[in-house]
Chains A and B, each alone.
Chain A
Amino acid sequence: MRQTADSRQQTAGKAWWLLAMLIALPLYADDGAAILAKVDAARNPLNSFAVDVSLTSISGKSTESSKFRVYGKGSDRSVVEFVAPATEKGKYLLMLRDAMWIYMPSTSRPIRISPLQRLMGQASNGDVARTNFAVDYSATNVASESDAWVLDLVAKDTSIAYARIRLWVDKKTSEPSRADFYVVSGKLIKRALYAEHGQRVEIEDLLRPGNRTVMQYANLAAHDNPEKMFTKDSLGKW
């Protein structure tokens, strides 16, 4: 049967459309990775740094506060020094990727701990020490929502605390504005809201309404942190 010009145009159009889709699919992944990289760069402008972190845990009417000093190097190494309250002074937490150790003056040795063992309140150790999404997650989908990109992140490793994260990123500043955390079962358990250019993070426990933790970052500055500082045997001695 002889094709008409219109049908040839339609066929060509479909072919171009299909080609565009095939090209666009990996581009989403590329875009997602690029956006994620920008998010991490915005949150971690310094390779070797120190920052003060205040943590306030609100549970109903009760409030607990803690203060930490975090020393970081690269994308996946950090040492958290417990500064307050007095009951926590002298403690240190080391995080290398997902491996964690805690040092307490009473035990005088670093103890291996799991990611779910909590610092305090709703913030687990990983919430405080983790600074980089791109290291642990892959962006599988990017959507546009008003003035934000919405990224679906999947954990690269099954050992990571949160199997999936949905992340809202400001299109202009590449700063995160919201993150929903899901566990392996698909259940949404936490929500983080970012403010003040990422200097304030409010983490809501969706399993226990009314419980939330507020993390406030301050005094971020470049700090020369040597490699040996991020070793288990240096914990508490540095």
Chain B
Amino acid sequence: MVKRPLIRLRHLLPARRGEGRQSLRGARSVAPRPACGERVPKAGEGRWAIALLLLLALPLHGATIKVFGSAGAESQFTPANTGSPLNPDNVAGLPRTTNVADATTFIDAAPADRAWKLHLKLRADSSDRASDHLRIGEASLQLNPRPWLDVTIGRFIEKWGTGYAWNPTGFVSPTKNPADPNDRRSTYSGVDAIRTDLFIRGTNVSLYAMQHQTFAARVYRLVANTDVSLHLFRDRDGTKQGISVARVFGDSLELHGELARRRVVAGAQYTFPRNVNVVAELYRSGDGLTGKQWDAVRHLATFDLRSANREFAPLRMGRNYSFVRVDVPFSKNDVELIAITNLRDRSSIVRATFTRRVTSIISVYIIDTEFLGATGSELSYMQVRRAATAGARVYF
């Protein structure tokens, strides 16, 4: 049986309102599903965050408060790939254009002695194709009772691992989209947990307690100039372990790797003169589809489009992938090129981004994402031909 993938087409595209043809509508639930790294807020969920704020209202007047973030708007052009067996004649009714806007605000408050720290991440999303959202991505209180002890309570984004595009050891991390590894629109939300950090003679031990009898632990130490982390995660489904490492050689070369159960990533980052940066990674996932399993999905698409669309998730239909990123800054501009390739069928996602800093607080950008692959390859099944985006962002 084909396993349910974690990353779906919608994670690469903007969310859309229910419009267009109805033939695949029944395949989706009415309620909006979260995209990569997002949580759908439950009713009344923000109350505890508000209570936290009120609790700290009195001492806040003596604290240093930092507010920063960004707001942006962009238009996305996503013509349907009518040649995709998953979307013949655009039966999915995917919109040709989508306009979205978002605003993310980070708020940090802490007294001079840093006895505690309050951290908030608030995010608002708006789209002409989906409902508007206001989310509390992070809301946590960190207490520093001892020089060797920190306790953090609330919701916070925790990212494990050293990989750039993939993080096999990211047991508590938001699901990452390899085509957008830096989460350029700050969409990630955190987990609700209590974290205890112990600092013991150069070793950091972090212990996590989360909902539904879920626990995690991470031990970090710098060993011979190498970042070494051991990861442990346990929930009702069982236990997972992993290790991640990273080390810099000379002035310019960084090597990193992660290993967890059936997943492994190995990569390198090199900085050339003029700050040109190149990242390359190889990823293998034992959870991905074999060639036979992929053929089964392709066969499914010939008679059951709904099920086939449900099973299809880009960058999960194979077991071995490569990632290459080249970033070239020059003057007030930045050009980034990302290529992610399925090593079995050589199909690729290629994304080119041009960013220009118009002023010290305003950037404009254009992004083009192309899905390339021979007939029958994973990315030839993408339901859109390309995703072209133009937008602007202001920082405060």
Contacts and interface: CB of A to CB of B under 8 A. Distances in A.
A146 interface: no
Interface stretch (A32-40, A41-49, A107-115): A107-115
A23 to B, nearest CB: 38
Contacts of B192: none
Contact of B225 (A99, A158, A161, A228): A99
Nearest to B272: A116
Interface in A93-132: 96, 98-100, 104-109, 112-118
B247 A112 contact: yes
A85 B360 contact: yes
Nearest to A62: B331
B251 A114 contact: yes
A107 B182 contact: yes
B395 A85 contact: yes
Name the interface size band of chain A: 35 or more
Given A86-B361, A113-B254, A233-B206, A105 B182 contact: no
Interface stretch (B75-83, B157-165, B296-304, B381-389): B157-165
A197 interface: no
Interface string B156-187: 01111110000000000000000000111010
B150 A112 contact: no
Nearest to A108: B157
A159 interface: yes
A86 B360 contact: yes
A115 to B, nearest CB: 5
Nearest to A87: B395
B231 interface: no
B222 A99 contact: yes
Contacts of B183: 106-107
B48 interface: no
Contacts of B225: 98-99
Contacts of B254: 112-114
Contact of A112 (B220, B248, B277): B248
B248 A90 contact: no
A114 B271 contact: yes
A107 B159 contact: yes
